A and B are shown apart, each in its own frame.
Chain A
Amino acid sequence: MTATPALTFRLVSKVYDSSSRESRFALREVSFDIPPGLKVAIVGRSGSGKSTLLHLAAGIDVPTQGEVSIRGRNLAALSDRARTLVRRQEIGLVFQFFYLLPHLSVRENVCLPGFIAGAGVSEFEERASELLEEVGLLDRAEDNIQELSGGEMQRVAICRSLLRKPRLLLADEPTGNLDDANSGLVMNLMLKLASKEGHTLVYVTHSAELASLADEVWRLQSGVLNPS
């Protein structure tokens, strides 16, 4: 019996300014299935639709046409609240600009998805410590975010994305704001943690070198997806 795909796109198109005559396709009839545990790198030029693809996969945007499913559940058929709950329970997000909150400490930033989910405090604080230890930042847990370097910030963001053990980890150019040394470090760390906990990972990158670390590399070109 084949396992239900972690993420499915069926003929997904996303059009911006669909009301105007010159509507712009960000994605054009994209279809794929990503089985659980697979690590996929998506590469493409700026404006090729990489971020749109991730937004649709995370359910924070809806397609103009087609169907996006997380473990067989069509996101478009869900209410906004139900989509939010899917995101909360199933998906972890890593962003290029980290998006850490300056008024929270390192540990509190990692715990943020736990705060939002209202999960048991002791449970996610323990998990946060584990993750911070994995990325070598446990001793900085109570520090302010502003005191961290870019690489450290992205490590905290990765911990945050993994806090609630999501089945699907989506990363939008996670190393786009880091130098080469930190890029390799962060990417390897993310892949290591994803493998260790069996997460499905989809990440967008410009770097062919970092893309090569994935199980599969797909290329997006003007909204059309081609396996490499």
Chain B
Amino acid sequence: MIRYFLAAWIAHLRKAPSLFLLSVLGVALGVASVVAIQIINRNAIGAFSAGIKAVSGEVDLTVLGQTTTFPEELYSQVLATEGVAAAWPLYQIDVALADRDAFFLQVFGVDLLAPVRLPWNSSPADLSQALFEPGWIAVTPSLAQEMGWSIGDPIDVTSGTRRVQLVIGALVDFKKVSPLASRKLAVMDIAQVQGLLGSSGRIHQIDVQIQEGTHTEELILRLQNRLGPSVQIVTPRQREEQAADLMGAFRLNLTALSWISLFVGLFLIYTSTQASLLRRRLEFGLLRSVGATRAQVFGLILGEVSLLGLLGVILGLPMGYWVAQSNVEMVSATLTNLYLLQEIDSLQLSPSLYALAAGIGLGGAMAGAFFPAIDISRKNSKDLLTAFTLHEKANSLALPVFGMGWLVLTLTALWFWFLGYSWKPAGFVLAVAVLVALPLLTPFLIQQICGRIKTRGFGLGYSLKSLAARLQTTSFAVSSLAIAVSMLLGITLMIGSFRKTVEVWVQTTVQADIYLTTPSWRAEPEATLDAELVSALAAHPGVVSVDRLRRLLVSIDNKRISLVGVDMDLSGGQSRFPLLKGDRMEVLGKVQQGGVLISEPLARKSRLDVGDLLQVYAGAGKLEFPIAGIYYDYTSELGSAAMDLAVMGEIFGPGPIHSLSLYLEEGRDPERVVDEIKARFPDTPLQIRSNQRLREEIFEIFDQTFAVVRILQMMSLLIAVCGIMLTLLVLARERISELALYQALGASRLQIFRLFVGKGLGMGLIALGLGSAGGTVLAAILIFVINRTYFGWTIQVYWPGWPVLQQLATILTAALLASLYPALRASKTPAVELSRDDLQ
């Protein structure tokens, strides 16, 4: 049987290479999209812990501050706790390279005198000067090479408005310890980091090794009791989970989108397998009549499909890696923008990803082929040897299948309305129901739309009518394209609405003429503006008012959020917080009396409302603030809260300012004032932008955030277009007699070519119709359910007419292009190819 399998497989491959290649491409693209997203997801989490792993090695526990830093006195208490074998403190700070735009070093301050053997200590680099040479820093060889640095070279870095000169003291390859560690990782002596770049007497974390025989849970309890509520004690696994949880919504959405591509790919497999099996029914009939069992026929079919799946995996893996590699920078920027996480510096393909690719490629191919294989293997040899019409079966099943589609939609909608709405993943269930219902609704709709066309020529109407004749084949191509269109349109509507919402929000909130902060503001929450600089800027010619913003990190249920303090009574500054809930004047009064405003994502995720108490853990301990209002905010999905700056000073004590907004007198050119300030403070590290530039940057970040989504959309569309091409190729093969008849009746090659292009156009048009309906429903689910549950943002519905039209035109063009090659093949069918049963 194996010899027969190989011989038959090679023969069929030779006979229909284009069908085979399209099927392999379909699997490969499906695998690639899932693998690409998984590579990015896993490496994003890996990057989070890689830096710490590279510096500290494998640790058992980590003591973390509830907010950012905590007093270093706690270190001695950790060492004194029973069950602790060793512990060492870390100070972690991201500093900006002074001469590079938005380039940050991830600096770890390490206690080089700690009685532990850190993994990279064994490197051949000379670390002896680390304690004594001011500004000594060890960097990675790859970064040194990239920057052209050598040992002994000075480098200027900034933290807030502080500018410090460091000296390259050693080159240490941290990737040897932790392969995912960033090339931007650097190590200094902890005291030097605290003194030069951060805050003396405070640390970010303490890593702990447990004594053998000590029970981890008990030690955690002992440490927590001893150290108090200003810290949390977590295992490395819990830390990774926290990071994963932080970007969980982002990851989940990308993962869901990538699986849609695979789903679309399954249709391709189904169509090609079924076409191949129909063509070969006589062969299977013969095999059965000479003694092959049903299981053998079934095995033969699945064996062939597995081979197809395997080739798809072999092609899909590097494709997926390439997609991940080309998008990692954009995703990484999103992670740092939205979640303040470490950027992804390098990608690694773990063995589990190979297994995943093999699983989905082979599993997907087999799933796509399963039903046609079962169908063929169940038939007896007599049935296989006589002509049968699968299409008639499809025609008679169209109505019940349509009914099932409606049932799926109705039951899911009812379930959501009465039960599921409060369940977080309910939105995905709704989306899946739409994607499942679409292919179920398709055959009947094609039958009704195309079958009822009264043909009065050999043009598009005739092409459309002929689609109804091969429902079994055409409905799968139309379904897969409709799913891809739904996904494309749904996401385009969502992104378009979101962009417009943000546009309106930016117009309302970004009112100042100039925005000013430090280059390291995003990477390091403690980066602040020098007080003298703030005063000087307030008095700068042309500046009529200054809006100061102070940012603190506080913790809610072990999650860190920003608590910002601003001058709430700033004239004209009310628009900075467009209110979702609460009366403006009333809210202002409450905020000035100690209340807070909370952002919409925080309100939704923590289920907080106006009048509730916001309980946070800050450096000063547990605090409670009455919630005066809820404001729209699209800067972070983690949530934030705002209070009056003066009240913040009273509660947390005076503190530095993180950013400034300058209002200029009328008639002043903001760009000119920006240039003046840059010229006035040439050595001060400042990030300064005019209102216009800031708005542009916001939309650059916005577009960057959705770049990877667009790649996934394109991959799904590509698979679906392959499906159109494959279907038309199948039709060109299946319908040889029909084509020969047209030729015999005097149809020219051009007419047959146009007939097939018309079929492609027809499938494209029906898929667009179905996909547009599905896409609109998906957009509503994305905007009103998934987005609100996972991100917490209100998105106003907006129809981005032009982009949608452009996309629809692109899809139609793609369908047309996909039909050209099959049309050419079909037009070359000779009239002598008339045979007995093909027209049935």
How far does the alpha carbon of A121 sit from the alpha carbon of B457 in the complex, in Å? Answer: 8
The residues of B with any CB-CB pair to A shorter than 8 Å are 451, 454-458, 462, 465-466, 468-469, 737-738, 741-749, 751, 830-832, 834, 836, 839-840
- Picked from A58, A100, A104, A113, the residue with its CB within 8 Å of the CB of B455 is A104
Instruction: Scan A85-108; emit 1 where CB is below 8 A from any B CB, else 0.
Output: 101110101010101111110001
Give 9 pairs: A residue, B residue, CB < 8 Å, sorted on A: A58-B744, A84-B746, A87-B744, A99-B741, A99-B839, A103-B466, A115-B457, A116-B751, A121-B456
Is B746 in contact with A81, judged by CB distance below 8 angstroms? no
Report A-chain residues with C-beta under 8 Å of the C-beta of B749.
80-81, 84
A118 within 8 A of B: yes
Output the residue of B457, B737, B745, B751 with the most chain A CB within 10 A.
B745
The B-contacting residues of A in range 181-195, CB under 8 angstroms, are none
Is B748 in contact with A81, judged by CB distance below 8 angstroms? yes
| Interface size range on A against B | 20 to 34
- Picked from A60, A81, A104, A116, the residue with its CB within 8 Å of the CB of B465 is A104
Report B-chain residues with C-beta under 8 Å of the C-beta of A121.
456-457
How far does the alpha carbon of A91 sit from the alpha carbon of B465 in the complex, in Å? Answer: 26
How far does the alpha carbon of A199 sit from the alpha carbon of B467 in the complex, in Å? Answer: 36
Q: Say yes or no: A88-B745 contact (C-beta < 8 A), given A60-B831, A103-B468, A115-B458.
A: yes
Q: Say yes or no: A112-B745 contact (C-beta < 8 A), given A103-B468, A104-B465.
A: yes
- Picked from B454, B469, B830, B836, the residue with its CB within 8 Å of the CB of A101 is B469
Q: A55-B831, A99-B737, A101-B466 are in contact. List 7 more A-B contacts (CB 8 A).
A: A55-B832, A60-B744, A61-B831, A84-B748, A99-B741, A104-B455, A115-B456
How far does the alpha carbon of A97 sit from the alpha carbon of B455 in the complex, in Å? Answer: 23
Report B-chain residues with C-beta under 8 Å of the C-beta of A95.
834
CB distance from A114 to the nearest CB of B (A): 9
- Picked from A58, A97, A100, A112, the residue with its CB within 8 Å of the CB of B836 is A97
Is B839 in contact with A118, judged by CB distance below 8 angstroms? no
By DSSP majority rule, is chain A's interface helix, strand, loop, or mixed? helix
The B-contacting residues of A in range 126-170, CB under 8 angstroms, are 160
Is A61 in contact with B832, judged by CB distance below 8 angstroms? yes
CB distance from B748 to the nearest CB of A (A): 5
How far does the alpha carbon of A150 sit from the alpha carbon of B747 in the complex, in Å? Answer: 26
- Picked from A80, A102, A103, A116, the residue with its CB within 8 Å of the CB of B458 is A116
- The 4 A-B residue pairs with the shortest CB-CB distance, nearest first, are A88-B746, A103-B469, A60-B831, A115-B458
Is A116 in contact with B839, judged by CB distance below 8 angstroms? no
Closest-by-CB residue of B relative to A142 is: B454
Report B-chain residues with C-beta under 8 Å of the C-beta of A113.
745-746
- Picked from B454, B737, B738, B745, the residue with its CB within 8 Å of the CB of A116 is B745
Output the residue of A58, A99, A113, A121 with the most chain B CB within 10 A.
A99
Closest-by-CB residue of A relative to B457 is: A115
CB distance from A1 to the nearest CB of B (A): 30
Report B-chain residues with C-beta under 8 Å of the C-beta of A160.
745
CB distance from A123 to the nearest CB of B (A): 12
Instruction: Scan A67-92; emit 1 where CB is below 8 A from any B CB, else 0.
Output: 00000000000001100110111010
Is A60 in contact with B743, judged by CB distance below 8 angstroms? yes
A117 within 8 A of B: yes
How far does the alpha carbon of A97 sit from the alpha carbon of B832 in the complex, in Å? Answer: 14
CB distance from B390 to the nearest CB of A (A): 13
Report A-chain residues with C-beta under 8 Å of the C-beta of B832.
55, 60-61
Report A-chain residues with C-beta under 8 Å of the C-beta of B745.
87-88, 93, 112-113, 116, 160
Closest-by-CB residue of A relative to B837 is: A97
Q: Say yes or no: A103-B746 contact (C-beta < 8 A), given A60-B831, A97-B836.
A: no
Is A103 in contact with B451, judged by CB distance below 8 angstroms? yes
Closest-by-CB residue of A relative to B833 is: A60
CB distance from B745 to the nearest CB of A (A): 5
Q: Say yes or no: A84-B743 contact (C-beta < 8 A), given A115-B456, A116-B458.
A: yes
CB distance from B252 to the nearest CB of A (A): 45
CB distance from B431 to the nearest CB of A (A): 35
Report B-chain residues with C-beta under 8 Å of the C-beta of A115.
455-458, 462
Is B738 in contact with A101, judged by CB distance below 8 angstroms? yes
Report B-chain residues with C-beta under 8 Å of the C-beta of A108.
454-455
Is A85 in contact with B456, judged by CB distance below 8 angstroms? no
Closest-by-CB residue of A relative to B737 is: A99
Closest-by-CB residue of B relative to A177 is: B836
How far does the alpha carbon of A99 sit from the alpha carbon of B735 in the complex, in Å? Answer: 12
Closest-by-CB residue of B relative to A97 is: B836
CB distance from A70 to the nearest CB of B (A): 13
CB distance from B737 to the nearest CB of A (A): 7
- Picked from B455, B458, B741, the residue with its CB within 8 Å of the CB of A118 is B458
CB distance from B276 to the nearest CB of A (A): 23
Is B839 in contact with A100, judged by CB distance below 8 angstroms? yes
How far does the alpha carbon of A116 sit from the alpha carbon of B840 in the complex, in Å? Answer: 21
How far does the alpha carbon of A64 sit from the alpha carbon of B458 in the complex, in Å? Answer: 33
Output the residue of A58, A85, A101 with the most chain B CB within 10 A.
A101
Is B746 in contact with A117, judged by CB distance below 8 angstroms? yes
Closest-by-CB residue of A relative to B389 is: A102
Report A-chain residues with C-beta under 8 Å of the C-beta of B744.
58, 60, 87, 93
Output the residue of A60, A61, A111 with the most chain B CB within 10 A.
A60
CB distance from A35 to the nearest CB of B (A): 24
Output the residue of A84, A88, A103, A115 with the most chain B CB within 10 A.
A103
Report B-chain residues with C-beta under 8 Å of the C-beta of A112.
745
How far does the alpha carbon of A97 sit from the alpha carbon of B778 in the complex, in Å? Answer: 49
How far does the alpha carbon of A97 sit from the alpha carbon of B746 in the complex, in Å? Answer: 18
CB distance from A107 to the nearest CB of B (A): 10
How far does the alpha carbon of A88 sit from the alpha carbon of B747 in the complex, in Å? Answer: 7
Is A60 in contact with B830, judged by CB distance below 8 angstroms? yes
Closest-by-CB residue of A relative to B735 is: A101
Closest-by-CB residue of B relative to A90 is: B746
Report A-chain residues with C-beta under 8 Å of the C-beta of B747.
84, 88, 116
Report B-chain residues with C-beta under 8 Å of the C-beta of A99.
737, 741, 834, 839
Closest-by-CB residue of B relative to A172 is: B834
Closest-by-CB residue of A relative to B742 is: A116
Report B-chain residues with C-beta under 8 Å of the C-beta of A85.
746, 748
CB distance from B828 to the nearest CB of A (A): 10
CB distance from A93 to the nearest CB of B (A): 5
How far does the alpha carbon of A55 sit from the alpha carbon of B749 in the complex, in Å? Answer: 18
How far does the alpha carbon of A71 sit from the alpha carbon of B761 in the complex, in Å? Answer: 40
CB distance from A27 to the nearest CB of B (A): 14
How far does the alpha carbon of A108 sit from the alpha carbon of B455 in the complex, in Å? Answer: 7
Report A-chain residues with C-beta under 8 Å of the C-beta of B466.
101, 103
How far does the alpha carbon of A102 sit from the alpha carbon of B395 in the complex, in Å? Answer: 12
How far does the alpha carbon of A91 sit from the alpha carbon of B468 in the complex, in Å? Answer: 30
Closest-by-CB residue of A relative to B738 is: A101
Report A-chain residues with C-beta under 8 Å of the C-beta of B737.
99
Report B-chain residues with C-beta under 8 Å of the C-beta of A84.
743, 746-749
Report B-chain residues with C-beta under 8 Å of the C-beta of A116.
458, 742, 745-747, 751
CB distance from B832 to the nearest CB of A (A): 5
How far does the alpha carbon of A153 sit from the alpha carbon of B763 in the complex, in Å? Answer: 30
Is B469 in contact with A102, judged by CB distance below 8 angstroms? yes
CB distance from A94 to the nearest CB of B (A): 11
Report B-chain residues with C-beta under 8 Å of the C-beta of A103.
451, 465-466, 468-469
Report B-chain residues with C-beta under 8 Å of the C-beta of A81.
748-749
